[in-house]
Structure 1
Amino acid sequence: MAKSRPEFLIALGLAAGPVVALGFTRFAYALLLPAMREKLHWSYASAGGMNTANALGYIIGAATAAWWSRRFGARAVFLWSMVISALALLASASTGDLAGLAVLRFVGGLSTAITFVVGSALASRVHNGGHQSRSAALVGVYMTGVGIGVVLSGVVVPAALTAWGVSGWQAGWLLMGVLALVAVTPAVWASRHVPEATGAAAAQRGRAGLKLLAPTFAWYVLFGAGYVSYMTFVIALLHGQGMKTWGTATFFIVLGAASAVATLLVWGRLIGRLRGGTAPALVSVVVLVGVLPVLLWHGTVAAIVSAVVFGGSFMAGPTAVTVLARRMLPQHAWTSGIALLTVAFSVGQAVGPLISGLLSDSSGGIAKGLWLSVVLLAVSAAVALVQRERGAAEHRHQDAPTLVPVPVPVPVPVPADRSAAER
């Protein structure tokens, strides 16, 4: 059924998942944070704790995504988790209570992790041929949804804040919730045209492949902690440097546009050509370079350079991990493999903002907290280089049916002088 539809359009329809999961639920919080801090009188630790609640939900969602997928089917789980995320966004507009918002951030993290993990597995199946570069490019198309979501939130949230001032944070959540419900429509169409999973590989085969991915697990924890600390607090940093609402909006829109364009045109194809931990290490280095301009210089130029470099590279991390999982695991284990890797990612995302927030509350301010990103990304690049791409050849044909030779009876010659009875 999927072959009658352009693979690009199917992957693009699935990209509605990360639009909601990361573009709205995860990253738009950075735009709303300054207004929420001012209106609700939060410390930076409280603000970071909100993202920690989101990340804890993300950990549980990622850990259980494969189970939900097996229990109810990948397509249904992908779509219903998007709907739950949209409802959590809408509900976030209804309260200013710290505990209530933390619960909604937790629920949003839970549902969006399931969306992202299951959607990544679906995107990996859009092209089920043998062309690794083609599959990597289509996974890149799926990941562009993050950049698209960042651009949309970069328009919607500042518009709400401009119209209603610091009280506009509630309108921001409300508008993103409505857009999230609209995004379900293309996701429904695309999910119906993804080929069914093939093969019935044994679970132990997937576990063997996961052991080979141990360095990538460690890299993903460090990378998640490093990049999300920047994404959580960079708008607050720019706001503290004197940048106004539409200035930070421009920064966010440029970041999202750079993410969508680079993920679509550069990283998907580049990652398809790189082997082992080279791609994750390269991603960490480029993301690190993207963090530095706002820490070393003030002003619009530094902010835009940071947005272009960081935005053009941070979503290449999940792309690299998805491609590695596809290469080193049998197809039967893709969803569970991506899910467990996403758990590692979520652990980093849970710890990073909390530590960064605590550092930001100290005498060094937000910049001190963001230097944590630089350190973690540098260490993650070194760890990634340990990864070797093994197991791909071993698993390449594991989903094919095993042919067991059936013994063919060989006639035994009977001596001519034996009687019929003896025969």
Structure 2
Amino acid sequence: MTAVAAPPAREGGLAREVLTALGLACGPVVALGFTRFAYALLLPPMHERLHWSYAQAGGMNTANALGYIIGAAGAALLARRLGNRTAFLWALALSAVALLATAATAVFWALLAFRFAGGFTTAVAFVVGSALATRVATGADRRRAALPVAVYMAGVGAGVVIAGVVVPAALSAGGDAGWRLGWLLMGVASVLALLPAWLGACRVPEPSGPHAAVLAGHQVRRLVPTFVWYVLFGAGYVSYMTFVVALLRERGLGASMVAVFFVVLGVASAVATLSVWGHLAGRLRGGRATALVAGLVFLGVLPVLLLPARAGAALLSAVVFGSGFMAGPTAATVIARRMLPQNVWTAGIALLTVAFSVGQAVGPLVSGLLSDSAGGIARGLWLSAVLLVLAAAAALFQREHSPA
């Protein structure tokens, strides 16, 4: 897939920048909303129908995260060789294929392979799409430049909302094969998302001059606290996202209430990312924004662990957690844009995403092992809370640096 370069989006003003970012936002809709987070809705029926342990269920997300690590590590190189637009669009197309393939088999190792492949392709799409979003408002002040990034990241919340509507309906209509229908419908939706993604990518110019595929040593060192924060944050938040639906079902909440929980979480994510975090991430210095994000997400985990097993506790958790969890990638992308030279933005976002993915690979597996123990799923989610506190502490060590 190729596209003809268009003039920079900033020439058309703020409305053009937002529309461009909305097209690019199809990337996180598929990469995270469908491929990663919708698995939380499909985990209980797949766990039951396919006779998995929670360690096996967590291993599925670990396979996805391992693919994500490799994809994120190679994203800058692929973007350099193919161009940002081509790498983004082909990765998104292959992500749709991986979702469709997941509906085609019940064999554990085949599903593991498709989850790995989906992780790889969606990482490339997400990283390169993030780099495209940082270029939508090139030359604008830091607050305006952060808005397209926030719009792009809000695609995750939109994907969660769509999954929260589509997957429960598929599970209800499909019976024992409902989980297959859920993956199938998300795959079809991903194919449809290619057109707006292409239109958005067409409006973002390729970077002028050479751009690096790796960071220099001093550029890595200046962002060490953010790398540590992102590993811990990734492990903490994805453990919650993987197992919270299973916990709510275990505590007696029905399928309709779980669907409402997922939709509320997605709406809270999209609204907060657009209305709050785009402004805060561009305004707060150093690691203050990332520390605030981890602290808020930690508070979002607590209601389902400390309050009685009622719908109110689940919805409170959905609102608070949803308001913060996608602010993490937003803040990390803004930090890379603000503290690194333009020619290494893609490489910086890729390396930060690798750190994020390492946490996402380890978190669900360890949380799943804890969930298989005497303490049950709640014990695994306490690990999530502890990791998020550690992430907030690590973020406070990040200092502001000039991109020079």
Q: TM-score range by the shorter chain?
A: over 0.9
AA matched with 1:255: L
Aligned pair partner of 1:195 in 205, 222, 225: 205
- Tell me if structure 2 keeps the 8 A contact 1:210–1:329: no
Partner of 1:86: 96
Partner of 1:160: 170
Partner of 2:321: 310
Partner of 2:378: 367
AA matched with 2:244: V
Partner of 2:342: 331
Q: d(CA) in 2 for partners of 1:384 and 1:25?
A: 28
1:366-410 Cα distance to aligned partner (Å, 9 max, x none): 000000000000011001000001133xx2xxxxxxxxxxxxxxx
1:240-389 equivalence runs, <5 A: 240-297=250-307, 298-389=309-400
Structure 1, unaligned runs of 5 or more = 396-423
Aligned pair partner of 1:141 in 146, 151, 163: 151
- Tell me if structure 2 keeps the 8 A contact 1:206–1:337: no
Partner of 1:182: 192
Give SS of 1:388's match.
coil
1:39-75 Cα distance to aligned partner (Å, 9 max, x none): 0000000000000000000000000000100111110
Q: d(CA) in 2 for partners of 1:330 and 1:257?
A: 34
Aligned pair partner of 2:12 in 1, 4, 7: 4
1:121–1:201 CA distance, 2 compared to 1 (3 A): closer
Q: d(CA) in 2 for partners of 1:45 and 1:346?
A: 18
1:216-258 Cα distance to aligned partner (Å, 9 max, x none): 0011000000000000000000000111111100000000000
- Tell me if structure 1 keeps the 8 A contact 2:215–2:348: no
Q: d(CA) in 1 for partners of 2:337 and 2:107?
A: 42
Partner of 2:4: none
**Deviation of the 1:128 alpha carbon:** 0.6
Matched, 1:214 2:218: no
AA matched with 1:225: A
Q: d(CA) in 2 for partners of 1:160 and 1:305?
A: 26
**Deviation of the 1:203 alpha carbon:** 7.7
Q: d(CA) in 2 for partners of 1:42 and 1:191?
A: 40
1:112-151 equivalence runs, <5 A: 112-151=122-161
Give SS of 1:185's match.
helix
AA matched with 1:277: G
Q: d(CA) in 1 for partners of 2:34 and 2:320?
A: 21
- Tell me if structure 2 keeps the 8 A contact 1:209–1:391: no
1:318–1:376 CA distance, 2 compared to 1 (3 A): same
Which moved further from structure 2: 228-237 or 239-248? 239-248
Q: d(CA) in 1 for partners of 2:214 and 2:377?
A: 46
- Tell me if structure 1 keeps the 8 A contact 2:103–2:183: yes
- Tell me if structure 1 keeps the 8 A contact 2:69–2:358: yes
Q: d(CA) in 2 for partners of 1:262 and 1:195?
A: 28
Q: d(CA) in 2 for partners of 1:113 and 1:31?
A: 21
- Tell me if structure 2 keeps the 8 A contact 1:206–1:330: no
**Deviation of the 1:129 alpha carbon:** 1.2
Matched, 1:13 2:23: yes
Partner of 1:418: none
**Deviation of the 1:126 alpha carbon:** 0.1
**Deviation of the 1:189 alpha carbon:** 0.3
- Tell me if structure 2 keeps the 8 A contact 1:14–1:187: yes
Partner of 1:411: none
Structure 2, unaligned runs of 5 or more = 1-6
Aligned pair partner of 1:34 in 36, 44, 50: 44
Partner of 2:57: 47
- Kindly report the root-mean-square deviation, in angstroms, between the aligned alpha carbons of the 2 structures: 1.3
Partner of 1:391: 402
Instruction: Report which of the two structures shows the higher radius of gyration computed on alpha carbons.
Output: 1
- TM-score with structure 1 length normalisation? 0.91
- Tell me if structure 1 keeps the 8 A contact 2:67–2:119: yes
**Deviation of the 1:204 alpha carbon:** 8.6
**Deviation of the 1:135 alpha carbon:** 1.0
- Tell me if structure 1 keeps the 8 A contact 2:214–2:348: no
**Deviation of the 1:301 alpha carbon:** 0.2
Partner of 1:403: none
**Deviation of the 1:166 alpha carbon:** 3.9
Give SS of 1:94's match.
coil
Give SS of 2:58's match.
helix
**Deviation of the 1:271 alpha carbon:** 1.0
Which moved further from structure 2: 203-212 or 68-77? 203-212
1:70–1:200 CA distance, 2 compared to 1 (3 A): closer
Q: d(CA) in 2 for partners of 1:211 and 1:65?
A: 21
AA matched with 1:376: L
1:189–1:206 CA distance, 2 compared to 1 (3 A): farther
